[in-house]
Chain A
Amino acid sequence: MSQPPKEVIKFEVNGRTVEVAVRPYDVLLDVLRNELDLIGTKRGCDQGSCGCCAIHMDGRPVLSCLTLAKWAAGKKITTIEGLANPEPHPLQTAFETCGATQCGFCTPGFIMSAKALLDRNAEPDEATIKEHISGNVCRCTGYLQIVEAVQKASEELLEKDRPHDASVVERNRQTHPAGR
């Protein structure tokens, strides 16, 4: 049986516009890892059950193993590689200092999930954080230090009140119309 033909799609990934040829059944995870060398996004299960492949599509968290690549056409994708800018995001440093990363394989997925939460809820309580990350599997940490890291990052972001990336700049501009 011969393989169906490829189709060229265009999308933005971490601020850069890319064009890739994909087959109809290709999932975004494969395209990110194999075509674009964005290996920070991990493959843990291929069935949306571990969260290791979480990325953002137009600012919303999605599991790239369950997302057909062609759905990315025209969209803005952010992967773990797009978070450090160039200094690491407070979530990234908090994961380090709280001991929220051990083997690290689940870490990119957790950070992308947590970032999606903090982007729309700057001060989530513990229960909200736990609920939000319950689709991500970590077998090393027992989760508590991950929750702690998300809390710490949230505090840091609020405290510094400094825009970190474009979406936060935009949000802050809306919240503080006078600008800063």
Chain B
Amino acid sequence: MSHSVTAHGAGKLPRGLAVGLALAVLFSGALFSLATGGRSDVGLTDLWAPEGIAATVIYDTRAPRMFAATLLGLNLSLSGLILQAATRNPLASPAILGLNQGAALGLSLGLVLPLFSGVPLQVMALVGAFGAGVVTFAISGGFTGRMDSLRLVLGGVAVGAFSYAMVRFAFTLEDELARSVVRWTVGDITDIRWPAVRRLALWGLPGLFAALALSQRLNLMALGQASAQGLGADSRITLLLGTLIAAALTGVSVSVAGPIAFVGLVVPHLAKLLFGGDHRILVPVSALLGAALMLYADGVSKVLTAPVEAPVGVVVALIGAPWFLWQTVFARDLS
């Protein structure tokens, strides 16, 4: 791989070591996720040649959950990476731009309003994510080609706050409905099975290739909207494609697990810290690190408040928020 993009700044670690570390973290995270769960009698030693109930538990409940965590990490970190590059805003992420909350609003409307009872919840989530994205970008002036960074974040916060206020209204409804909505909107992957994994993969893997295809355009965005335009990459098209990919990845993720914040915000920054600014490398690396973060969060979610499982979205926030704070205070790329 050439170093033609040194202008983006190289990472701090030798690349081989960094990739090796990331893979080691991913692999250990996967083991952690597989070794923990509702049955205390199925653990690490059962992962090799499991039989009887241990085999059933691992193949039918823990493996799909492990893959779901992996794909959710991939989807959300790619959404964040693409949004940060396409909007040239280091704060951009599915949660900050309101996509997560929009998807959650879509879900809640689907659960609460009889009008939408025939519409599959995943469609409601996707429509909600797209809708929130479109409104946020319209507020920021993104569709006119002159996106205002500050207006983007403010617009996203406003759209997110509005959507989530509507979602929280549903919490006050009667118990069973409120519990359903809370379960949907807290970021929860307990009892995930293979069909949900297939759905995540169906969107996530094409999303990964689409992000790779878009990576050169994302690199050009870093030069500035005018320069990108001059080099033949219309920034509005990059933004539109990026938003579509990010909204699709976010929408499918929310439809499976509910909104999970911080993955999309934190992981791209960690990847840039380790690997520099070339998006042709950042795309696969962010996917890898996002997956690793989610796998660890899944493992922790099962042991933190055992025997009751903590929602994975809460655990991600517990890991992601302090990291983001550290990044804000000490790292250069947010200053």
Tell me if chain B binds chain A: no
**Residues of A participating in the B interface, judged by any CB pair closer than 8 Å:** none
**Residues of B participating in the A interface, judged by any CB pair closer than 8 Å:** none
